[in-house]
Structure formats: C-alpha cells, structure tokens
Amino acid sequence: MTDAGMQRMASRVFAALLASDSGSMTSTELSEQLRISPAAVSGAVRYLSHVHMVRREREPGTRRDRYLLHDELWYEAFGRRDAVLVRWEAVLLEGAELLGQDSPAGRRIAESADFFAFVQQQIPLMMQRWREHRAELDQDRR
C-alpha cells in the first residue's frame, strides 16, 4: 500500500483491518496489535476515513469507537474518486485555456483534461460491470 502512495501508518492500520476476521477493531486493539501509539492510530484512521476506506462506529453501550472497513470497500473507495476527477478536469481545462491550446503546454494540458473526461465516462460503466460480475461470483459461491 505504501508503494502505491498510501501513508505508512494508514497502510498498516488498513492491512490489520483487512486481515482481521471481523473487518473491525478498536483503537486499543489496533494500537496493541501494531505496537503503535493511539495517536498514530488516530491519524491513520482519519486519513482512511477521508478516503472512504474506513468508517467509525460507536460500540454499543460504551464510549469506544470501532473502526470498520466499508462494505464493498473497493467499489466505495473507487467510486468516490469521481469528484476528484471532475475537479482535475476543470482545473486542467482552465489551464489549457489560459495557456492557449495552440501552445505545446496548452495542448499537453488539454490532452490531460481529455483523459480525465474519458475516465469519468468509463467509471460508471466499469462499476456496473463490476456489480454484474460480483453477482455472478456470489451466485457461483452459493
């Protein structure tokens, strides 16, 4: 995960949650298992929550938080990238316009904007194909 750009502590916390049978742990459990400070857990969970890979729930009858992987984790995390792509495309289009599409830099930036527009068009199609594929896998596993 760190090789893909995720923060080191967030990678460790995510891996611990992913490898746990329940897919959920408290801060204390994460801290003890990973031998890291509660502050390190807190920072990692804040990042993972921000990128929609983990959610926080209050343990019933306690004041402790439990951190859980999202249902349909990868679908959820990937699907939320669409808003980022929209912003990148808008900024790139603005940059291409400012530089002029007749300049090499303007053309390069316009091509980048075209790429993000294409990816945005493909994401819903790919997500639908994933849902169909997952339904087939679920059917085969029954």
Q: Percent of the chain at pLDDT above 70?
A: 99
54-58 sheet: strands from edge to edge: 24-26, 65-69, 54-58
Could you read off the pLDDT of 69-123 as tens digits, one per residue?
Answer: 887 777 777 777 777 788 889 999 999 999 998 999 999 999 999 999 999 899 8
- DSSP codes joined into one string, 34-79: HT--HHHHHHHHHHHHHTTSEEEEEPTTSS-EEEEEPTTHHHHHHH
The count of structural domains within the chain is 2
Q: What is the CATH number of the domain that holds 58?
A: 1.10.10.10
Q: Which domain holds residue 21?
A: 8-71
3 within domain boundaries = no
Residues 86 and 66 in one domain: no
Assess if residue 135 is contained within a domain.
yes
pLDDT in tens, 11-22: 999 999 999 999
